[in-house]
């Protein structure tokens, strides 16, 4: 199995991800680190090959382009997509291997537990991460490993698929820029191609960082991506965020259109920062 992670200015988080992979019961064949809008770094592991490359984008981080650039290299491989904030549990790759063996033509979405601030500052172990990690509230809608999930619950933080499945779906749409809706669009196109989303027990730990609620720091991306998604699917994504933007008088939004009234001020963005949250 091969692992992909995307990086922009997250070197300590990346170091923890690599440490987790090195402790894995089943080491990856390769780790691909895709640096977005920054120079590649040099990482070496005694257990597996590490490849670093660079992908540039204008007007934001080229998330879709970065994933597509690597996942299409080997359509016969099994690919695991891990957010750079994720530390894989020791069984993650084994669990994904078993999931893909059972249902090779599916998207397999793993589990994520969110860590509090400081959980990875000391010499952490998987046992200490298990003690401190908590599940995302949306985990309540998951049933059991091996069962199908609604496509709108798909999240690219921690998932796996065959390269051929990625090609069937068409990869991530590079017309989405920066942050928001590209995950759901990918899942909806999977549904259109008859590709199910399957619950996998593959566990990763999400490293703490402050969050914005709503993410006013990604205001322009959210509006542009919501419009693109609506043009394709005739439904609106990110309804909670769009409603929060409307309540603040930043956008006009109804069933048919989304228009910017004003952009958030620096003070509004600062007020949306939630340092006491767990990354969701």
Give just the sign of the alpha carbon dihedral 276, 6, 83, 207.
negative
State the Cα angle at 279 between 276 and 280, rounded to 5°: 105
Helix (H) or strand (E) holding 161: strand 158-162
Q: Which of 197, 118, 119 is nearest to 154 (CA)?
A: 197
**pLDDT > 90? residue 72:** no
| Domain range 2-206, CATH architecture | Alpha-Beta Complex (3.90)
**pLDDT > 80? residue 275:** no
Q: How confident is the model at residue 44 (pLDDT cuts 50, 70, 90)?
A: very high
Kindly give the residue spans of alpha helices, DSSP state H, lying in the chain.
11-22, 63-71, 92-102, 126-132, 163-169, 182-192, 219-233, 239-247, 266-271
Question: For the segment 188-220, what is each residue's pLDDT rounded down to a tens digit?
Answer: 999 999 999 999 999 999 999 888 989 999 999
The residue written with tokens 């990604």 in the block is: 218
Say whether 183 sits in a helix, a strand or coil. Answer: helix
Q: Which has the minimum average pLDDT: 75-79, 113-117, 174-178, 253-257?
A: 174-178
Backbone φ and ψ for 67, nearest 5 degrees, come out as -65, -45
The whole-number average pLDDT for the span 65-90 is: 94
> To the nearest whole number, what is the mean pLDDT of the chain?
93
Confidence at residue 166, expressed as pLDDT on a 0 to 100 scale? 96
% of residues, the chain, pLDDT over 70:
98
CA gap 235, 89 in Å, rounded: 36
The residue written with tokens 């994520």 in the block is: 112
Helix (H) or strand (E) holding 274: strand 273-274
Confidence at residue 278, expressed as pLDDT on a 0 to 100 scale? 65
Question: For the segment 88-127, what is each residue's pLDDT rounded down to a tens digit?
Answer: 999 999 999 999 999 999 999 999 999 999 999 878 999 9
The whole-number average pLDDT for the span 60-80 is: 91
* pTM of structure: 0.94
Q: Which of 200, 184, 279 is nearest to 235 (CA)?
A: 184
Q: Where are the domains of the chain?
A: 2-206, 211-274
**pLDDT > 80? residue 277:** no
Are 228 and 175 in contact by the 8 Å Cβ rule? The answer is: yes
CA gap 204, 244 in Å, rounded: 30
CA gap 191, 196 in Å, rounded: 6
Q: How confident is the model at residue 233 (pLDDT cuts 50, 70, 90)?
A: very high
The whole-number average pLDDT for the span 48-68 is: 91
């Amino acid at each position: 199995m091969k692992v992909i992670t995307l990086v922009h200015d997250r070197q300590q988080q990346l170091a923890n991800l690599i440490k987790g992979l090195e402790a894995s019961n089943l080491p990856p064949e390769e780790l691909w680190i895709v640096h977005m809008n920054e120079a590649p770094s040099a990482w070496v592991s005694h257990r597996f090959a590490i490849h670093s490359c660079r992908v540039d984008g204008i007007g934001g981080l080229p998330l879709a382009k970065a994933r597509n650039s690597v996942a299409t290299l080997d359509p016969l491989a099994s690919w695991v997509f891990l957010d750079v904030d994720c530390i894989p549990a020791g069984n993650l790759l084994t669990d994904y291997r078993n999931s893909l063996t059972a249902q090779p033509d599916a998207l397999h979405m793993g589990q994520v537990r969110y860590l509090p601030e400081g959980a990875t500052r000391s010499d952490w172990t998987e046992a200490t991460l298990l003690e401190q990690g908590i599940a995302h509230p949306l985990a309540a809608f998951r049933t059991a490993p091996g069962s199908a999930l609604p496509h709108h619950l798909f999240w690219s933080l921690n998932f796996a698929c065959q390269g051929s499945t990625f090609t069937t779906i068409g990869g991530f749409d590079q017309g989405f820029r920066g942050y928001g809706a590209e995950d759901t669009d990918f899942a909806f196109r999977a549904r259109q191609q008859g590709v199910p989303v399957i619950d996998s027990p593959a566990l990763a730990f999400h490293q703490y960082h402050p969050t914005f609620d709503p993410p006013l720091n990604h205001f322009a991306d959210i509006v542009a991506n919501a419009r693109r998604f609506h043009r394709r699917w005739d439904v609106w994504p990110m309804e909670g965020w769009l409603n929060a933007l409307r309540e603040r008088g930043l956008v006009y939004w109804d069933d048919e259109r989304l228009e910017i009234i004003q952009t958030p001020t620096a003070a509004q963005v600062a007020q949306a920062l939630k340092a006491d949250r767990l990354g969701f």
